[in-house]
């Protein structure tokens, strides 16, 4: 009889083509996990993630679920899987989950963080995990803009490849602009995110911080829903999936 497991997955997405397994390549996070868990199980198994992260995006707290029949303890499973996974992917936590638990369908909230290195100096050691912006940013104006994005809105202007048949309404519970030294973090918690939504929100807030647009423009973007009028899509390397919350 199989058991259902919930696990937290951390990965450096720099060299991967995103979370979702693809027929054209084996260089995906899900593909690597499927391969190792299938070898452990002795049959084909599929790991389910809480959501798809794009090529180059990282995760500290991605959550995944998998069903296994292998008679090993959780520490033994983790030891095996982490031994055979690449060094840039790791299972950091694992537990047995209720029968009906599904990493994606059961998820309630997700928190992403977009990390910016706001300095004219080169960012030698963290260049793969932060986006460098040399111009000073007006953080107070960025916070004003962020305030308009909190709540339930139609975020059509803040996504790419949106399918018109599907709703683009989402709820943002919290959007913070945090800073320490040269690092500026855009941290966002919501009930779900559209394709590239966090990176476009980050790009729009950065343009406010650079004085290229006013905070009030956010209201117009939400009302009109035109992608071309919102900010740039920030590079993937600055984005980290921090955590996924469940009931």
At 73-82, the pLDDT tens digits run 999 999 999 9
Binned at pLDDT 50, 70 and 90, residue 166 comes out as: confident
**Is the separation of the CB atoms in 19 and 10 below 8 Å?**
no
Integer Cα distance of 59 and 113 in angstroms: 10
Backbone angles phi, psi at 15, to 5 degrees: -105, 5
Does residue 160 carry a pLDDT above 80?
yes
Query: In this structure, what token pair is assigned to residue 105?
Result: 């369908």
Burial of 101 (0-12, 13-18, 19+ CB in 10 A): middle
DSSP, residue by residue, 57-83:
-EEEEEEEEEEE-----HHHHHHHHHH
Q: Which residues, 6 or more positions from 90, have their beta carbon under 8 angstroms from its beta carbon?
A: 9, 10, 11, 82
For residues 12 and 16, what is the distance between their CA atoms, to the nearest angstrom? 8
Confidence bin at 131 (pLDDT 50/70/90): very high
The answer to whether the beta carbons of residues 153 and 222 sit under 8 Å apart is: yes
Q: Specify the DSSP class assigned to residue 25.
A: B
Q: Is the pLDDT of residue 137 over 80?
A: yes
**What dihedral do alpha carbons 45, 15, 188, 233 form, nearest 10°?**
-120
Three-class SS state of 35: helix
With a cut of 80, say whether residue 30 has pLDDT above it. Answer: yes
Rounded Cα distance, 238 and 224, in Å: 28
Query: Within a 10 A sphere around the Cβ of 105, how many other Cβ atoms?
Result: 10
> Into which CATH architecture does domain 109-246 fall?
2-Layer Sandwich (3.30)
pLDDT at 59: 98
Can you give the residue ranges of every domain in the chain?
3-96, 109-246
- Rounded CA separation 193/190 (Å): 7
Fold of the CATH domain 3-96? Alpha-Beta Plaits (3.30.70)
Known catalytic residues?
54
The whole model's pTM is what? 0.95
Separation in Å, CA 152 to CA 146, 149, 171, 195: 13, 8, 4, 17
pLDDT for residue 90 is more than 80: yes
The confidence band for 165, taking pLDDT boundaries of 50, 70 and 90, is confident
């Amino acid at each position: 009889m199989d058991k259902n497991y919930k696990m937290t997955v951390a990965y450096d997405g720099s060299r991967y083509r995103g979370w979702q397994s693809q027929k054209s390549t084996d260089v995906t996070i899900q593909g690597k996990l499927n391969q190792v868990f299938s070898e452990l199980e002795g049959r084909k198994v599929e790991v389910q993630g809480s959501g798809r992260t794009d090529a180059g995006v990282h995760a500290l707290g991605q959550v995944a679920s998998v069903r296994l029949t292998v008679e090993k303890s959780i520490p033994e499973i983790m030891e095996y899987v982490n031994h055979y996974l690449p060094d840039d992917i790791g299972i950091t936590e694992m537990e047995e989950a209720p029968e009906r638990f599904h990493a994606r369908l059961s998820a309630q909230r997700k928190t992403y963080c977009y990390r910016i290195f706001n300095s004219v100096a080169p960012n030698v050691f963290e260049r793969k995990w932060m986006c460098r912006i040399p111009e000073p940013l007006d953080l107070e104006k960025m916070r004003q803009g962020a305030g308009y994005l909190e709540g339930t809105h139609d975020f059509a202007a803040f996504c790419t490849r949106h399918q018109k048949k599907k709703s683009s309404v989402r709820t943002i519970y919290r959007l913070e602009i945090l800073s320490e030294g040269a690092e500026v973090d855009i941290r966002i918690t919501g009930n779900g995110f559209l394709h590239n939504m966090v990176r476009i929100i980050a790009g729009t807030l950065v343009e406010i911080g650079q004085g290229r647009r006013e905070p009030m423009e956010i209201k117009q973007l939400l009302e009109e829903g035109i992608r071309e009028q919102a900010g740039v899509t920030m590079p993937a390397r600055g984005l980290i999936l921090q955590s996924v919350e469940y009931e």
